[in-house]
Structure 1
């Protein structure tokens, strides 16, 4: 849970900071009422009380962010930056350190678009729906790569290494240039943006000397006020298939078939293999099938699958680009899937000029996957557990069996997927919650800690995690006595020794001398 090294700010400092924020940002953009603070709680947390903020402020520009940081440094209070606060399952808008003030950047919504080169320069408040509507109004010459919850921020998603489903699915890899406010209120631009008036800021990632973009990803070293991003050119055509597989054991051969196609570039997208509950949880609720406690029986699983005609595993595969190239590649992909003897296979096709399918495969914003929060009824939610694996069917099957057994041991219903990168897999597991069931909620924390321990025993670490487990997950990266965490702390202490920005983010706390806004 929250590190014992940190303490929240005292009420006197909060009052002092509130008055200063009102003077700098305007009273309408400063929120310290009880209901205001509650609006920023993590609705999916196991224990809400661990992450209550003191209030929130909403700057409207980089200059106001700078002013807010200077005030926070002078008064000695921590700020927790959020873009739109929709990182559901990982903490939402809540801070690691209770009592922090939320730095809500959702008012900052400017978009600069370079149509010729296919890039955008975005402020953090721009959501996926915002950017989609912006591009659609200009002819949709470029596509997004949207996550399952498209309510969120494009900048925030890339900064937390979120993924989508198109060839540009690994959003953090498409970052090109940032503007960042540091804890002392200074402003820096990375890459080619360090040259005043440079026309290549969103074209060349690295600039001269050390490249800093990724150092501001999942870190608390600064507040990103602008971010460049590469967009995917609208393809001439799209071809592919939706494939269902009948048995849990089909996972390994499927991964071993797709992995070489992904590595050689025939399959350029980021496909995700999802289990039956990932599909069914947005179509039905648990109470329609059983009132028995504990993990679902095989009989109930079979009945749900039969009604909705879903496999134990399913995957959607798409080819993007020139129609002639896709027509040549499609038979190769089709044969590879048929050789695995799937339960079903349905072709999909699109050509430029036709209406877009409303799915992540076409970069269309979606939010229906969040319906899974209602699986148990009551005050639903979920928490993610997402270790990184090699692209190996054997490794994936072992991870699946190990994790599935833990779900059953702890009486949880198994929802999971295996998402492809170019060389890795991310095993995204959702722990579906009913916050009105105290007995269930009592099992969640020990269950998640056990999953982290199981992964560590295999040499697997999570690529992102919930607020409650940031210290724990950081500790699993333990080479040479946690040398990486020590390096992160040294950078933190150099840039933000008082811990003004997001103390505890990714397990990174300010040093003892600076304290947390001591």
Structure 2
């Protein structure tokens, strides 16, 4: 039997007392402290399986129960790590940052409240993308959701971690409008217009009066979000667009410099994502079909894979949404702009309301097939993501790609990368796919990741989210005025959570009493 992981400063007796208090407040069927339970709440894609083990888990189903949990945690000084559905694979999954924490699993909280007139929804943490999609279909509501590349996670959790989708509503955190939050001391607050009792405008206006707090609860450990308002996209009259392939790695510059202005101008309102050949190929084949040689794939093997599946070195899907006549006019502008940079191929697509709909991320359809990429090497596959924010500039994007690609080759890894467009920025998502049954490969992942963080930091680029292992490392790169932002975050943390019991270490934010746990 494995040793019981304990939080710093907590002995087994105090943890047992806290467990009994949780059982009294929630019922024993919502409290999980057996060895198998603890194994359930570990990171299945962990680079180091010895890290981030919980002491147990609890599963409250109401706001009152969440409040009770926080009061008990304060009484016994037990760190709590809340998760929505625990599907944040590649970033830590359902495991806690601090070993010995009790995971608070909110996946059983699944209420949905929909305002059909305004196109807003209030969801609880356990509502997944499939749940919301099915709800909309079952109730014949004229709205589309926006889904990430792997859609089995929580709608709320994805927005809180600033996840993205592919429609005009793809920057999910920007569509948050109002939250209900349990603070670390168990108090309950509603943000924005929700601070006004029975306000009919809670999901209509995000800011309320005075400071606006919605973004303060994103990627933070300042409170447990139990309800979130979101805006949804009205079902468009039509959709038009194209799937485009480009032949050369150097084409990235022209792609960024062409798509970027169209995005900023508003011709493209979606969130396009340029992906390299492996993003497409890794769900169609596996590495073992092509070579058994170690190290990064050669250009000859890459060319053979691309030829079989007729894919470019880079590919991007571009979509226009809205009134059909407007889309037709915009498509002419888009088509000319793309043809001017000599693509390898263009595959047009169009849809009008009433016709059968393509079931893709571009239409807000939940999907999970992209996770097949973890089978690329064979064995127990996994991945972590390295995702710096870079300027929306073709030359800088190409330079970032070339630096990163050389590092992949240096560490003997196959490169899977993408460049996702915001309105003014690019998110350079690099997937480190690995085989957990290959000890040599796994030994290299940590130094490889740290090297990429250092490379990006040298050019002023920081990650927008990261795996549990690297939260302190990434927070450290945000170093203006001797890490003034980290100091500010921790002042707020200590004010709201003086006992340091809520998600200590999340995003590199440590309470004073646990500051010794920060990675040096």
- Provide the TM-score with structure 1 as the length reference: 0.98
Pairs within 5 Å for 1:396-475: 396-475=397-476
Pairs within 5 Å for 1:10-49: 10-49=11-50
The 8 Å contact of residues 500 and 514 in structure 2, kept in 1 or not, is answered as no
Distance 2:355 2:345 in 1: 26
Pairs within 5 Å for 1:488-499: 488-499=489-500
The 8 Å contact of residues 8 and 100 in structure 1, kept in 2 or not, is answered as no
Offset of residue 353 of structure 1: 1.6
Pairs within 5 Å for 1:21-170: 21-170=22-171
Distance 2:67 2:516 in 1: 21
Distance 2:513 2:220 in 1: 19
Offset of residue 94 of structure 1: 0.4
- 1:66-96 CA deviation, whole Å, 9 max, x = no partner? 0001001101110100000000000000011
Distance 1:13 1:355 in 2: 59
Pairs within 5 Å for 1:363-382: 363-382=364-383
Partner SS, residue 305 of structure 2: helix
The 8 Å contact of residues 116 and 141 in structure 2, kept in 1 or not, is answered as no
Size of the alignment, in residue pairs?
Answer: 511
Partner SS, residue 48 of structure 1: coil
The 8 Å contact of residues 499 and 515 in structure 1, kept in 2 or not, is answered as no
Q: What residue is the counterpart of 1:306 in the other structure?
A: 307
Q: What residue is the counterpart of 2:222 in the other structure?
A: 221
Offset of residue 159 of structure 1: 0.1
Distance 2:56 2:371 in 1: 26
Q: What residue is the counterpart of 1:280 in the other structure?
A: 281
Q: What residue is the counterpart of 2:269 in the other structure?
A: 268
The 8 Å contact of residues 500 and 513 in structure 2, kept in 1 or not, is answered as no
The 8 Å contact of residues 497 and 515 in structure 1, kept in 2 or not, is answered as no
Spell out structure 1 runs of 4+ moving beyond 2 A.
6-10, 512-516
The 8 Å contact of residues 180 and 188 in structure 1, kept in 2 or not, is answered as yes
Distance 1:374 1:10 in 2: 41
Offset of residue 371 of structure 1: 0.5
Offset of residue 512 of structure 1: 3.5
Question: Mean Cα displacement is larger for which, 12-21 or 440-449?
Answer: 12-21
Partner SS, residue 430 of structure 2: strand
Cα RMSD of the aligned pairs, angstroms, is 1.1
Partner SS, residue 430 of structure 1: strand
Distance 1:440 1:321 in 2: 47
Offset of residue 515 of structure 1: 8.1
Q: What residue is the counterpart of 2:4 in the other structure?
A: none
- 1:384-406 CA deviation, whole Å, 9 max, x = no partner? 00000110000000000000000
Pairs within 5 Å for 1:471-482: 471-482=472-483
- Residue 179 in 1 paired to residue 180 in 2? yes
The 8 Å contact of residues 498 and 514 in structure 1, kept in 2 or not, is answered as no
Distance 1:311 1:7 in 2: 51
- Provide the TM-score with structure 2 as the length reference: 0.97
The 8 Å contact of residues 79 and 103 in structure 1, kept in 2 or not, is answered as yes
Question: Mean Cα displacement is larger for which, 245-254 or 132-141?
Answer: 132-141
Q: What residue is the counterpart of 2:205 in the other structure?
A: 204
Distance 1:376 1:507 in 2: 32
Partner SS, residue 13 of structure 1: helix
Offset of residue 484 of structure 1: 0.1
- 1:199-240 CA deviation, whole Å, 9 max, x = no partner? 000000000000000000000000000000000000000000
Partner SS, residue 389 of structure 1: strand
Q: What residue is the counterpart of 1:388 in the other structure?
A: 389
| Larger RCO (alpha carbons 8 Å, 6+ apart) | 1
Name the CA shift for 1:398/1:501 in 2 (closer, same or farther; >3 Å): same
Partner SS, residue 50 of structure 1: coil
Q: What residue is the counterpart of 1:510 in the other structure?
A: 511
- Residue 328 in 1 paired to residue 320 in 2? no
Q: What residue is the counterpart of 1:3 in the other structure?
A: none
Offset of residue 501 of structure 1: 0.7
